[in-house]
């Protein structure tokens, strides 16, 4: 997360001198986000009317949400990857992808579900959470999978554990064969700059009662229900 307030599509890959291989993997490991898609679905009702996926990227999560929703809106600030998300999405899927800034151009709600995966660290954090909250219908669910900067011994242990797990996951998925780069990995990325402790403190100020948890693969999860 950062405080510049720049639109996501203007952010370039973070190549600060001295980055370790682990930091580079953490910033670019978009397939790891898909590891959490099924977990996200488990936090949601079996059926709901409208969903908003912020930072929708290649559209994989938005298409999964469409299996439960009457309408899904996927928002991303990158026009190129938004167009690529539209291509494999049939009209019957009830998913609309649109290009917009996540803090100033989100489509009007209300939405029963708002999701955001590996995007909120690109945005002014508290302002983004407030925007998500404003879009939620009463009783709606906000589910975030975010990235945080390792700071505590627990963070570093989880990071070390994730390195071999990530390699094993990729090997099993591709059965040891070279694989083309997924569409989800073509969008600009940057490493997280804020610790989990600070994230949790700010989140609970904006979203009282929010549940946050450290996760493997350098992620954390946040779940909040509107009432």
**Gap between the Cα atoms of 200 and 9, Å rounded:** 26
| Per-residue model confidence (pLDDT) at position 4 | 37
* Confidence band, pLDDT 50/70/90 cuts, at residue 214: very high
| Per-residue model confidence (pLDDT) at position 190 | 60
Element (H, E) at 73: strand 69-76
| Per-residue model confidence (pLDDT) at position 90 | 84
| Per-residue model confidence (pLDDT) at position 153 | 61
Whether 196 contacts 147, CB under 8 Å = no
| Calculated CA dihedral for residues 177, 183, 189, 195, nearest 10 degrees | -70
Residue 140 clears pLDDT 80, i.e. is over it:
yes
Instruction: Give which of 60, 100, 39 is closest to 185, Cα–Cα.
Output: 60
Element (H, E) at 52: strand 48-54
| Per-residue model confidence (pLDDT) at position 5 | 39
| Per-residue model confidence (pLDDT) at position 91 | 80
Residues composing the chain: 227
Average pLDDT over residues 34-39: 92
Residues 29-44: b if buried by 16+ CB within 10 A, e if exposed: bbbbbbbbbeebbeeb
Residue 24 clears pLDDT 50, i.e. is over it:
no
In CATH, 8-150+181-225 is 3.40.50.300: no
| Per-residue model confidence (pLDDT) at position 160 | 52
pTM above 0.85, yes or no: no
């Amino acid at each position: 997360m950062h405080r510049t307030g720049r639109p996501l599509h203007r952010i370039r890959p973070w190549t600060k001198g001295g980055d370790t291989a682990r930091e580079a993997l953490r910033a670019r490991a978009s397939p790891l986000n898909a590891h959490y898609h099924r977990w996200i679905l488990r936090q949601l009702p079996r059926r709901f009317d409208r969903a908003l996926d912020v930072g929708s990227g290649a559209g994989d999560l938005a298409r999964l949400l469409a299996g439960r929703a009457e309408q899904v809106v996927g928002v991303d600030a990158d026009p190129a990857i938004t167009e690529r998300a539209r291509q494999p999405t049939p009209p019957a899927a009830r998913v609309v992808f649109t290009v917009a800034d996540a803090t100033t151009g989100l489509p009007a709600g209300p939405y029963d579900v708002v999701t955001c995966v590996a995007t909120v660290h690109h945005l002014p954090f508290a302002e983004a959470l407030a925007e998500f909250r404003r879009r939620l219908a009463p009783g709606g669910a906000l589910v975030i999978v975010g990235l945080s900067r390792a700071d505590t011994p627990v963070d570093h242990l989880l990071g070390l554990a994730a390195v071999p797990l990530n390699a094993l996951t990729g090997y099993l998925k591709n059965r040891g064969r070279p694989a083309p780069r997924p569409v989800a990995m073509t969008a600009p990325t940057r490493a997280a700059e804020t610790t989990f402790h600070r994230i949790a403190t700010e989140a609970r100020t904006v979203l009282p009662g929010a549940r946050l948890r450290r996760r493997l693969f350098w992620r954390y999860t946040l779940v909040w229900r509107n009432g």
